[in-house]
Amino acid sequence: MRTFTVGRSTKYADVGVGDAHTAVSRVHAQISLIDHDTFLVVDQDSANGTEVFEAAGWRQARRANVGADQPLRLGREYETTVRQLLAMAGETDCKPHRPADQQAQDADFRRGGRPQQPARVNMGLERARGPINETGPSSTTAYILNVILPGAGNIYFGQPIVGTILVVGILIGLFLLFFGAAAAMFGIMIILVSAIAAIFTFGLSLLVGLPIGFIFLLMGAGPIVAFVIWIFSLIVSQVLVYHKATRSSESSAVDRRPL
């Protein structure tokens, strides 16, 4: 491997250091072999920069020549060496090879000139991977779905567990709504019938009818409970969508922010 890229995962770079290292950009740096045990490290406009360890300590560098065992720091947190990165890629050795145009750029750099930004490498590999598709579910659509049915937008937006829980809660609320309304009407009817019957039973019917009627009236609180469940589910569903959309936007901004 004469030239390779290193980043957070092999989905975007040739060598991935792990998704846990969020300070490392998707394509963080490009490393090319110059000659035996000497490599050119070029930062790929990463968010948190690339540092090289020298005699005076750590130095941030956009472009630097390093040895195979010279410490590198990616994203201010991940310390490694070129030899270790090659081992992660399954490479044990590679023969020196530098195209003429890259040799000219390196010569300009050593003379203090400003070389052109090298093109992205491994184009064949990138063509095999295809274009990076960063599109996904729209947060606006998720908001609209949650207004129609709280939880439906969360399922659409990649939060299936919490979305299913909210939808089940709404279904329970709808059951309470219709059952509670029917129970309240039935309770009122019992009280009215008991009151009419009290004329002929000397009030004895009220002793039985009133308690039963009030029980059904209490069960008629279902619509209130259903309304509370709906409002609570709506608020929770929209907050969860907003939180996930905000985190996704911040993550994309970090990966694209220049040094």
Strand-pairing partners, residue 50, are: 74
Structure confidence by residue, pLDDT tens digits, 215-234: 766 666 666 777 888 888 88
User: What are the boundaries of each domain within the chain?
Assistant: 3-129, 139-256
Residue 98 has pLDDT above 80, yes or no: no
CA torsion, ordered 182, 188, 189, 194, to nearest 10 deg: 150
Cα distances from 253 to residues 39, 120, 157, 162, 256, in angstroms, run 30, 21, 20, 27, 5
Per-residue pLDDT reduced to its tens digit, 99-150: 555 555 555 555 555 544 444 444 443 444 444 444 567 888 888 988 888 8
Residue found by looking up tokens 């052109």 in the block: 116
What pLDDT score was predicted for residue 255?
Answer: 45
- Is the CB of residue 18 less than 8 Å from the CB of residue 111? no
Q: Where is 147: in which H helix or E strand?
A: helix 139-148
Mean pLDDT of 33-46: 89
CATH of domain 3-129: 2.60.200.20
- Give the pLDDT band of residue 79 (cuts 50, 70, 90): very high
Q: Which long-range contacts (CB under 8 A, 24 or more apart) does 142-149 make?
A: 142/241, 142/245, 143/238, 143/241, 146/234, 146/237, 146/238, 146/241, 147/234
State whether residue 98 is helix, strand or coil.
coil
Residues 22, 42 contacting (CB under 8 angstroms): no
